[in-house]
Amino acid sequence: MKYFLHDTSAMEDEKISKLFVKFGYEGVGLFYATLEKLAKQEKPIEVNVLKFQLKVGKRLEKCWKFMEEIGIINTSNGETFNKQLLNFSEKYKIKKEKNTERISEWRKNQQVTENVTRYEHICNAPKVKESKVNESKSNIDIKGDKSPTQKSFKNFSEKEFIEEIKKYEKDFSSHMLNNFFLYWKERSAAGKMKFQLEKTWETKLRLEKWKSNDLKFSKNGNNKTPSATHGKSSGAYELAEQLREELGFN
């Protein structure tokens, strides 16, 4: 365990105060040196070994006995430990294991995503007349050309997402664009922004829908417009005015 919690008001604790009154800084120093040894091992240590490491001779033996009497260190089956430190160590181990599991799962998901995006299907090119190929290309162009945003929005960084929104500064108010950004930039446990979890994405259509909802709520006399609601849900609505300048929405 690289570190353990240490209360800045520990000297005000009744038991530590008793130790200080009786043995001064020497007693308090011995206590915290003992805690450091126990924290490093993350388990009880044999009494004789611990005393040898801390150089507890006849002078400090009385202090050691006093610490055992008031219960700030405990001895059982020839081993010394601190109850609070043991509890913290157990919680630390559990938290560490959970974090390891989450990181491992996240890496697996990233690997799956990477493999899917890099998949290349290899097959012999079909023999199709050039005229039919040109015809199908023209149909694709007419029916639904995919914009760069639709193709790559899942890989956008936060900065790229901001630049994408800024393209529509002339079409929508900066206040609305800011709230739109605050809502869709919220990240999931896996680190993905909310807009990246959508199956499809076209920024302008989303903005137009957002604006439409704003107008609908305003006509109904409801002060809680979608912009206001979404801003608050992200926990940053009150900072909207300050964020405008940061995001470049002038």
Instruction: Say yes or no: 20 and 109 in one domain.
Output: yes
Say yes or no: 106 and 4 in one domain. Answer: yes
Q: Are residues 228 and 158 in the same domain?
A: yes
Q: How many domains would you assign to the chain?
A: 2
Query: Does a structural domain hold residue 197?
Result: yes
Judge if 114 and 156 occupy the same domain.
no
In this structure, the answer to whether residues 14 and 100 fall within a common structural domain is yes
* pLDDT the model gives residue 227: 54
Say if residue 75 is in the same domain as residue 185.
Answer: no
| Average pLDDT, integer, range 176-181 | 92
Q: Write down which residue in 73, 97, 118 finishes a domain.
A: 118
pLDDT at residue number 148: 47
pLDDT confidence bin for 143, thresholds 50/70/90: very low
| Residue 142, in any domain of the structure | no
Task: Give the global pTM.
Answer: 0.33
Q: 166 with 107, same domain? A: no
**Which of 99, 118, 137 is the last residue before a domain boundary?**
118
For residue 141, what pLDDT band results from cuts at 50, 70 and 90? very low
- Residue 239 within a domain: yes
Residue 192 inside a domain? The answer is yes
Same-domain pairing of 166 and 109: no
**Same domain for 102 and 200:** no
Instruction: Provide the pLDDT for residue 86.
Output: 67
Inside any domain, residue 134:
no
| Residues spanned by the domain of 84 | 1-118
Same domain, 18 and 109: yes
Selection from 198, 202, 178 nearest residue 188 by Cα: 198
pLDDT of residue 178: 92
Q: pLDDT tens-digit profile of 23-48?
A: 899 888 988 899 888 888 778 889 88
Are 63 and 175 in the same domain?
Answer: no
Asked if the structure places residue 128 within a domain, the reply is no
- Within this chain, do residues 113 and 190 fall inside the same structural domain, yes or no? no
Q: Is residue 9 part of a domain?
A: yes
71-118: per-residue pLDDT in tens? Answer: 888 888 889 878 777 666 666 667 777 888 888 888 888 777 666 555
pLDDT, residue 161, reads 87
Has residue 131 been placed in a domain?
no
Report pLDDT for 237: 42
The whole-number pLDDT of residue 183 equals 92
Of 9-18, 45-54, 142-151, the one with minimum mean pLDDT is 142-151
Residue that terminates a domain, selected from 100, 118, 136: 118
Higher pLDDT, 20 or 224: 20
Name the band, by pLDDT with cuts 50, 70 and 90, for residue 168. very high
